[in-house]
Amino acid sequence: MNDRKDREGKGKRAPRKYLLLRLWTYLSRYRLLLFAGAAFMLLSNILSLLGPKLSGKAIDAIGIKKGGVDFERVLYYVSLMAVFYLLSAVFSYILSLLTIQLTRNVIYQMRKDVFESLLGLPVSFFDKYQTGDIISVVSYDVDTVNQSLAGDFLQILQSVITVVFSLVMMLTIAPAMVLIFAVTIPASVLMTRFVTSRSRPLYRVRSKKLGELNGFVEEMLGGQKTTRAYGREREVIDAFDGKNGTAVDANTKAEYYGTLSGPSVNFMNNISLALISIFGSLLYLYGKIGLGDVSSFVQYSRKFSGPINETANIIGELQSAFAAAERVFRLIDELPEAPDAQKAAVLTEVYGDVLFEKVNFSYEPGQPILSDFDLRAHSGWQIAIVGPTGAGKTTVINLLMRFYDAQSGAIFLDGQNIYGIRRESLRGAFSMVLQDTWLFQGTVFENLVYGNESIPMEKVVEAAKAAEIHSYIMSLPKGYDTVLSDNGVHISKGQKQLLTIARAMLSDAHMLIMDEATSNVDTRTEMQIQTAMRKLMENKTCFVIAHRLSTIRNADMILVVKGGRIIERGTHEQLLERKGFYYELYEAQFEHKS
């Protein structure tokens, strides 16, 4: 943990160095590919850089006098150039293949690290951030980093070799003319630094705005039916136009500054070429250098300044990559759930006796949700929790499953404080059926046995029949082998809910949580399921959060929660006799029968 804080601190003090070091950790995992790429790049570059020298010698062999051409020497140097350039092209092609493989490995590992980090984050993280924004990091930002990471790294290395080799060759030809670069290179560097200082914050804003746009799109597509039902298409389009315009503007500003460096540096390179041509001509006229040397120097000057121009463009791309890398590493570095206590116990035999003692909890400081909350659920009981919206019903489940931890008080399971139990062991003691059902792309059978893949087919059919979903499954084209699309979008909400109920029935868990689990099924089916589940969940503790009070009449204990406290408790008949808040809720639901 301290190491992580140190790294985050370093990232804040020197973000560019920090990001480069983090990116290097991914490249360094594939040293063999990297070194092989560097070797082929070196060979390709050196062979290519020998061309101008040979070209100059060929020009000198031609001579300036009529009939003074040494065809044998010209052919020799031209042949060498052809062989060197051909080998350079072959090595460059091999380098491209290695770069593609390196990029593939890096992007795979980075996306794997991001996803593994997501799975270890607490539920509170997903309550705070839009799903679309998170998806944007996993897809767009990781791609942005890797589009430039491996390729740009080797490109910069290639540029360094080209610049150094060209400089050495120019010094051997005409040292005096190299002084021209003492003016043009610093000017290019200053221009690049100026542009970089202004473009990087803009690329960071661009990534943020694109994430917000993705989040909005994901949210609106998920609520498309509601949008159409309320006739809000025009308002949604207008809102999208606003966010889309903001994202496009942020992208335009970033790209505008990012593309300034290339033309600016190219302008200085053209100035240096003009100066070289002038001074080279003067030195040739005074007999200080030959015509072939002038030609070679001009070619090496282009080789020398070309990589500087390319590097300026690469730096623009790297600003975008750095901005994306910040978001990627920020997600990877998000603090996971607090680790279990060092001596945390593993549940071996669960009876389902639950006790809350003076539990206090708030999602935000100063806004208490539960206050001095006490609850006792005996093993095998069905505990129903009712109350108005925002009373803290779901919070009770969140604390019991340790999706959140209470600020004070204690929660016990079979006499053990749950904060002394391993989370995986604790959560494995429960099965859940939620109002927001979740199915994945796979067969009906695979969805039903999720987490219990060894269950035989006859048990699956038995559970499906008990959940009143077997007949529907058999009406599907391939029955239990029918593949459901993503989240089961082509089946109704009620059918999805029945499938998740059947899945819960197949669980080995000793306790069951049902949060509005039958809200999408009809009353007749709901009563049949209740009867079946009471039989199947015998001797298991059940927590049922319900708004339909008719579904909890047979509960062993009904807890009425209001303002974060239990204000009433008892059986259905007992609570009606007291004519308190529960009685008012019941009368409000069934007043039409009066």
Tell me how far apart the alpha carbons of residues 66 and 20 are, in angstroms, rounded to a whole number: 58
Residue 363: alpha-carbon gap to chain centroid: 25
Task: Write down the pLDDT at residue 295.
Answer: 77
Nearest CA to 506 out of 527, 533, 541, 528 is that of 533
pLDDT in tens, 299-324: 777 777 767 666 666 766 677 778 78
3-state secondary structure 519-573: CCCCHHHHHHHHHHHHHHCCCCEEEEECCCHHHHCCCCEEEEEECCEEEEEECHH
Q: Concatenate the DSSP letters of all residues of 173-203 into one string.
A: H-GGGGGGHHHHHHHHHHHHHHHHHHHHHHH
Q: 469 near 495, Cβ under 8 Å? A: yes
Task: Write down the pLDDT at residue 532.
Answer: 62
Angle value at C-alpha 473, between 470 and 477, nearest 5 degrees = 150
Residues 6+ apart with CB under 8 A from 51: 81, 84, 85, 299
Task: Write down the pLDDT at residue 136.
Answer: 80
Intervals of the chain under pLDDT 50 = 1-14, 592-594
Q: Output DSSP code: residue 140.
A: I
Tell me how far apart the alpha carbons of residues 590 and 587 are, in angstroms, rounded to a whole number: 5
Q: What is the pTM of this model?
A: 0.66
pLDDT in tens, 394-413: 888 889 888 888 889 999 99
- How many other C-beta atoms lie within 10 A of the C-beta of residue 588? 9
Task: Write down the pLDDT at residue 536.
Answer: 59
Pairing of strands 557-562, 565-570: antiparallel
For residue 68, what are its two tokens?
A: 């003074």
3-state secondary structure 250-278: HHHHHHHHHCCHHHHHHHHHHHHHHHHHH
Tell me how far apart the alpha carbons of residues 243 and 227 are, in angstroms, rounded to a whole number: 18
